[in-house]
């Protein structure tokens, strides 16, 4: 994994789009909504997107339907591969992914593409709000790509692997601190965290401008939390989306990390699995 190749600035993207080998652009606007009217990423895309970008739906193309594996389990690779080829993704062409600015959905797409073997994928740092160029409302029809996903290029954890890593290495919990401590749980069956996991909210990896903190600052943060000393590192969140953003931040800091995709939504669904509460890893 190339640390500083994980993100791209809006100015760098603009230069790349004007160059001889423009990247494939994926618009992955999505957000978790607990309201009656769910967020409609496709409508947001239709209202205006970076020229040439193709919309990719997180819930149906970057994840399978919720089941015992969690709220956003890994997608069927045939479904994911078909979505990527439809968007024009080929193995030999760079890909840039963006979302509405939070970075979580874009990071999920980045992680899936990297995990399945694409060598050149970057996230637009700060997302669409950083783009100063024109927007397009018509959807492009790119030539079909040739990308065939082959899993295994990034670290992946299951529940047992996450539990073991919390004992032998460093397992970060990327959710908000109050959910880690078990004070609130707005989505899943019960609050708390995997015993031994360290609280490391991913929203603390970004500055006030919505962009990731500088690599040196990220490395210092993760070092202070126990990573970066040669130990294996893993990350989980609620359903494997915001944790992908923390894996991205770790990559920028030069620290490879595995993703527990099932995350808390899978872990907490089984009453036999242990749960820790409070501020300490335990």
Active site residues: 237
Nearest Cα neighbor of 95 from 26, 3, 6 is 26
Tokens standing for residue 278: 């409070």
Bridge-based pairing state of the strands 121-124 and 7-8? parallel
Instruction: Decide if 130 contacts 14 (C-beta within 8 A).
Output: no
Residue 25 has phi, psi (to 5 degrees) of -110, 130
Bridge-based pairing state of the strands 54-55 and 233-236? unpaired
CA atoms of 200 and 236, how far apart (whole Å): 10
Bridge-based pairing state of the strands 198-199 and 170-173? parallel
- Sign of torsion over alpha carbons 216, 222, 228, 234: negative
CA atoms of 23 and 222, how far apart (whole Å): 31
Tokens standing for residue 145: 């790509």
Strand arrangement, sheet containing 95-98: 7-8, 121-124, 95-98, 24-27, 54-55
CA atoms of 242 and 103, how far apart (whole Å): 8
């Amino acid at each position: 994994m190339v640390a500083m190749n994980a993100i791209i600035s809006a100015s760098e993207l603009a230069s790349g789009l004007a160059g001889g080998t423009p990247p494939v652009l994926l618009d992955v606007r999505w957000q978790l909504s607990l309201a009656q009217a769910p967020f409609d990423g496709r409508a947001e895309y239709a209202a205006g997107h970076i020229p040439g970008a193709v919309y990719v739906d997180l819930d149906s193309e970057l994840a399978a339907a919720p089941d015992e594996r969690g709220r956003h389990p890994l997608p069927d690779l045939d479904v994911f591969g078909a979505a990527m080829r439809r968007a024009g993704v080929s193995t030999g062409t760079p890909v840039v992914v963006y979302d509405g600015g939070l970075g979580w959905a874009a990071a999920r797409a980045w992680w899936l593409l990297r995990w399945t073997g694409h060598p050149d994928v970057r996230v637009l740092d700060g997302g669409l709000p950083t783009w100063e160029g024109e927007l397009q409302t018509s959807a492009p029809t790119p030539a079909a790509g040739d990308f065939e996903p082959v899993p295994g290029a990034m670290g992946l954890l299951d529940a047992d692997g996450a539990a073991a890593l919390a004992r032998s290495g460093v397992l970060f919990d990327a959710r908000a601190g109050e959910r880690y401590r078990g004070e609130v749980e707005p989505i899943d069956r019960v609050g708390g965290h995997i015993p031994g996991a360290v609280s490391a909210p991913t929203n603390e990896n970004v500055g006030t401008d919505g962009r990731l903190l500088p690599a040196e600052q990220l490395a210092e943060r993760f070092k202070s939390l126990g990573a970066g000393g040669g130990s294996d590192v893993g990350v989980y969140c609620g359903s494997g989306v915001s944790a992908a953003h923390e894996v991205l931040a770790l990559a920028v800091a030069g620290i490879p990390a595995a993703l527990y995709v099932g995350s808390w939504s899978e872990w907490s669904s089984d009453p036999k699995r242990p749960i820790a509460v409070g501020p300490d890893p335990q």
